[in-house]
Chain A
Amino acid sequence: MRRLGPFVFEPRLSPPRYIVFGVSVLAVVVALLAAAPVFLGYGQNPWQAYAAIGRGIFGSWPSFSEVLRRAIPLILCGVGLTLAFRAQFWNIGAEGQLLAGAVAATGVALFLRVPEGLRLPLMFLFGFLAGAFWGLIPALLRVKLGVNDVISTLMLNYVMAYIVEWLVHGPWKGPTMRGFAYTDAFPLAARLSFLPATRVHWVTLVLGVVMAVLIALLLARTRLGYEIRVVGQNPDAARYAGINFTVVLSLVMILSGGLAGLAGVGEVAGIHWRLRSPSHISMNYGYTAIIVAWLARGNPLAAIFTALLFGLFFAAGDYMKTTLGLPFQITGVFNGLILFFLIGFDLLMFWRVRLARKEGAWISQAGS
């Protein structure tokens, strides 16, 4: 129990859903209030600006669909990361794993001779495998050689980005691109179709939701899921119980990397239709997904919603840049603020607040 001024805080171990939802909404609202001065600084009325953004995004199906489209890679990467984080494996490498998937998909799309009907399924299959491979490396490095997972996954992001750079400047440079560093465009059979009147490549979206459900089931209902949770929560107990760390962490990272790989397939097959410079394939989706997974608190199904929230942020950022004519950096300031408030309000979620019953010394920290 803690006391702060006239309030008493009591810990609450598992907050009910409505509290989580309510507090999150409250956090966003307060963050919007806190960000208001930024708009004033640029001569905009913040309330009108928020209203305009809201109308701009929710006003029509095509503009709302942008939220969905931007959320797709975040769902896939985020769901994969919830799994890794459950096993206490710090996978900072979704960015590289996503790019690995994009590379494999491009290889299948442009260079593999297969029946056209099989092309897209194979792209997803090989994209998954490539992402899984890129995720498996740090898992094995950690289990076998004790290499810290944060550093290996982070470094492998750079390595994969330069591999992509090398491919588009070298062996895969498209003959029709007049020397510019892009591969040729994918054939029609390697492009994903859109929902009507949008650019939402719905196959990847459905895949993301299905994967979230499957991973949730895996975690909750299977022996592997149980082992993953034990490895994450209590490594010593896991060792005592004879759980094979190599197998569990390898499987976790195969799935986590593979899902990010699928996101990469979606990006190249649904948006770019070619491989291009890595910074334009992924707008830091792999890094943003870390936040998505954390806000979801390791729950794959919740990751769908936190991913949508970030899809909303991205879409709102686009809107602020174009329609309100604000400098693009404002998006960073804005998203940073909202994040601070979202995690800061955790306090309210895990602590029950009430007024102190009795008069007492106003001490900020009374041991329980």
Chain B
Amino acid sequence: MKRILAVMLAVVALGVLAFSAEKIKAGFIYVGPIGDYGWSHAHDVARRIVDEKFDWLETIYVEAVPEGEVETYIDQLVRQGCNVIFTTSFGFMDGTLAAAERYPNVIFAHCSGFKRNANMATYMADFYQVYYINGLIAGALTKTGKIGYVAAFPIPEVKRHINAFTIGVREVNPKAEVHVRWIYEWFNPAAAKEATEALIAEGCDVFAFTEDSPTVVQVAAEKGLPSFGHYSPMYDFAPDYVVSGQLVHWEKIYEDFLVKIYNGFYTTKNLAHVDYWWLLSQGAVEVGAKPGMVINPKYEAALKNYVINHPAFGKISVYELVFIRLNQMADPGITFDPFQGPVYDRKGRLVVPEGMWMSYDALITMEWAVEGVVGPWPGEP
């Protein structure tokens, strides 16, 4: 039976191939330089992976594109024969939409936005579950009860990550606090360094962050303090001190999207409702100090020895808890969400009632701060 099915699938696949044997030329537009070792770098790593994987695919990229100039660059990429264009910054949204309307025969995909069109999809790989897992570990490692978080901009994406992280921290260490400093830049090593030093001076002893360089990791390591890497694998920058971190696999989304175009499943007519919001269960993000290393072995013992009395699982070590939660979220039938109710904001208001999960819209517009977050919170409702 299985064999017959496989043969049938193969035949169907061949048939589809025969019908859509055209080559795909995909253009990628990045907001930063690919040498930033952060956001744009990660997209470019993914581009190279898919480029090598499929011989029917040709890719080109443009880096350091100012947000207001995206249409100019799209024009040039289209002129060069690109039939699929990825734009990878929220600020490219309106320009991409305008271009999508102007070039109805080109497929567009815009990262992190919310506007779509018949030929324009949206996609995002989000870290909030990963930050929650990191938070569990951080809560177990802090001795001072103060965890530092160096944050880029006070926008919902970053706020969601800090909140998820804090929920994880408080699940294993209800008295711990997460101290936040904003640097108002996606990339600025000096700002990240001084913000980290400020947090160290205030007694923080474990660090997480949102900034495109390994600065926080390096500064913490100098002082012998553990931290969590962000975006790119940062284990090598401090092998003794990077406990875990957030890793992204944009190639999962790019591969899925491009293959579906190649197979004729996605066309210029049917993308108005295609929105990738890919998380742990799709493999678009990963918990780890580097790929394949969820927890740095140097910290395994400490986490195994940190036993808590968990309301759901009873007596359990944080090490076990991490993998239980990870499996709950990595499983396609997700059985746990960091923001499952009851969740209170730090002003004492119930934001997610008992037994409820947050909607996608509520997640991506999150402005409040959860209990346990300490520090300024611009735009707090």
Bound pair (A, B): yes
A-side interface residues toward B, CB under 8 Å?
62, 66, 162, 165, 169-170, 173, 178-182, 185, 199, 267, 271-273, 276-277, 279-281, 283, 318-319, 321-323, 325, 327-329
A319 to B6, CA, bound (A): 48
Q: Which 9 A-B pairs have the closest CB atoms?
A: A179-B156, A322-B76, A280-B67, A328-B64, A272-B68, A271-B68, A178-B365, A280-B66, A322-B62
Q: Is the CB of A181 within 8 A of B153?
A: yes
Q: Is the CB of A280 within 8 A of B91?
A: yes
Q: Is the CB of B68 within 8 A of A325?
A: no
Chain A residues with Cβ below 8 Å from B345 are: none
Residue of B nearest to A280 (CB): B67
Contacts A169-B378, A178-B365; is A280 near B156 (CB within 8 Å)?
no
Q: Is the CB of B156 within 8 A of A178?
A: yes
Q: How near does chain B come to A160, taking the closest CB pair, in angstroms?
A: 14
Q: Is the CB of B67 within 8 A of A276?
A: yes
Chain A residues with Cβ below 8 Å from B153 are: 169, 181
User: Given B33, B76, B77, B366, which contacts A328 in the complex, CB threshold below 8 Å?
Assistant: B33
Chain A residues with Cβ below 8 Å from B63 are: 321, 327-328
Chain A residues with Cβ below 8 Å from B60 are: 322, 325
Instruction: Indicate the member of B69, B75, B379 with the most A CB atoms within 10 Å.
Output: B69
Q: Is the CB of B71 within 8 A of A199?
A: yes
User: Given B33, B75, B79, B91, which contacts A276 in the complex, CB threshold below 8 Å?
Assistant: B91
Q: Is the CB of A179 within 8 A of B155?
A: yes
Q: Cβ of B51 < 8 Å from any Cβ of A?
A: no
Chain A residues with Cβ below 8 Å from B378 are: 169-170
B-side interface residues toward A, CB under 8 Å?
33, 60, 62-64, 66-69, 71-73, 75-77, 79-80, 90-91, 94, 114, 153-156, 159, 184, 364-367, 378-379
Residue of B nearest to A327 (CB): B63
Q: Is the CB of B72 within 8 A of A169?
A: no
Q: Is the CB of A322 within 8 A of B156?
A: no
Residue of B nearest to A319 (CB): B76
Q: Is the CB of A182 within 8 A of B76?
A: no
Q: Is the CB of A179 within 8 A of B367?
A: yes
Contacts A318-B76, A321-B63; is A179 near B91 (CB within 8 Å)?
no
Other 12 A-B pairs with CB < 8 A, given A169-B153, A319-B76, A323-B76: A66-B72, A169-B155, A170-B379, A179-B156, A181-B153, A182-B91, A272-B68, A280-B91, A318-B76, A321-B73, A322-B62, A328-B64
Q: How near does chain B come to A174, taking the closest CB pair, in angstroms?
A: 12
Chain B residues with Cβ below 8 Å from A66 are: 72
Chain A residues with Cβ below 8 Å from B71 are: 199
Q: Is the CB of B155 within 8 A of A322?
A: no
Chain A residues with Cβ below 8 Å from B156 are: 178-180
Q: How near does chain A come to B206, taking the closest CB pair, in angstroms?
A: 27
Q: How near does chain A come to B36, taking the closest CB pair, in angstroms?
A: 12
Chain A residues with Cβ below 8 Å from B154 are: 169
A181 to B89, CA, bound (A): 13
Chain B residues with Cβ below 8 Å from A180 are: 90, 155-156
Q: Is the CB of A281 within 8 A of B68?
A: yes
Chain B residues with Cβ below 8 Å from A273 are: 94
A66 to B72, CA, bound (A): 8
In the complex, 9 of the A-B residue pairs with CB atoms within 8 angstroms, ordered by the A residue number, are A62-B75, A162-B184, A165-B184, A173-B379, A178-B365, A277-B91, A280-B68, A321-B73, A322-B76
Q: Is the CB of B114 within 8 A of A323?
A: no
A329 to B367, CA, bound (A): 37
Chain B residues with Cβ below 8 Å from A165 are: 184
Q: Is the CB of A181 within 8 A of B66?
A: no
Q: Is the CB of B114 within 8 A of A178?
A: yes
A325 to B59, CA, bound (A): 11
Instruction: Indicate the member of A66, A162, A180 with the most B CB atoms within 10 Å.
Output: A180
A62 to B71, CA, bound (A): 12
A249 to B184, CA, bound (A): 35
A178 to B114, CA, bound (A): 9
A169 to B155, CA, bound (A): 8
Q: Is the CB of A179 within 8 A of B365?
A: yes
A327 to B154, CA, bound (A): 31
A244 to B79, CA, bound (A): 57
Residue of A nearest to B76 (CB): A322
Q: Is the CB of A178 within 8 A of B76?
A: no
A322 to B153, CA, bound (A): 30
Instruction: Indicate the member of B76, B80, B378 with the most A CB atoms within 10 Å.
Output: B76
A178 to B91, CA, bound (A): 12
Q: Is the CB of B91 within 8 A of A199?
A: no
A318 to B153, CA, bound (A): 28
A170 to B380, CA, bound (A): 10
A161 to B33, CA, bound (A): 21
Chain B residues with Cβ below 8 Å from A62 are: 75
Q: Is the CB of B379 within 8 A of A178?
A: no
A323 to B77, CA, bound (A): 8
Chain B residues with Cβ below 8 Å from A181 are: 153, 155
A162 to B367, CA, bound (A): 21
Q: How near does chain B come to A48, taking the closest CB pair, in angstroms?
A: 16
Residue of B nearest to A318 (CB): B72
Q: How near does chain A come to B63, taking the closest CB pair, in angstroms?
A: 5
A281 to B90, CA, bound (A): 15
Q: Is the CB of B91 within 8 A of A322?
A: no
Chain B residues with Cβ below 8 Å from A173 are: 379
Instruction: Indicate the member of B71, B77, B91 with the most A CB atoms within 10 Å.
Output: B91
A226 to B79, CA, bound (A): 52
A251 to B374, CA, bound (A): 49
Residue of A nearest to B112 (CB): A180
Chain B residues with Cβ below 8 Å from A162 are: 184
Q: Is the CB of B364 within 8 A of A178?
A: yes
Instruction: Indicate the member of A178, A273, A277, A281 with the most B CB atoms within 10 Å.
Output: A178
Q: How near does chain A come to B307, taking the closest CB pair, in angstroms?
A: 39
Q: Is the CB of B90 within 8 A of A199?
A: no
Q: How near does chain A come to B326, taking the closest CB pair, in angstroms?
A: 28
Q: How near does chain A come to B291, taking the closest CB pair, in angstroms?
A: 27
Chain A residues with Cβ below 8 Å from B79 are: 323
Chain A residues with Cβ below 8 Å from B91 are: 182, 276-277, 280
Instruction: Indicate the member of B67, B72, B91, B94 with the most A CB atoms within 10 Å.
Output: B72
Chain A residues with Cβ below 8 Å from B75 are: 62
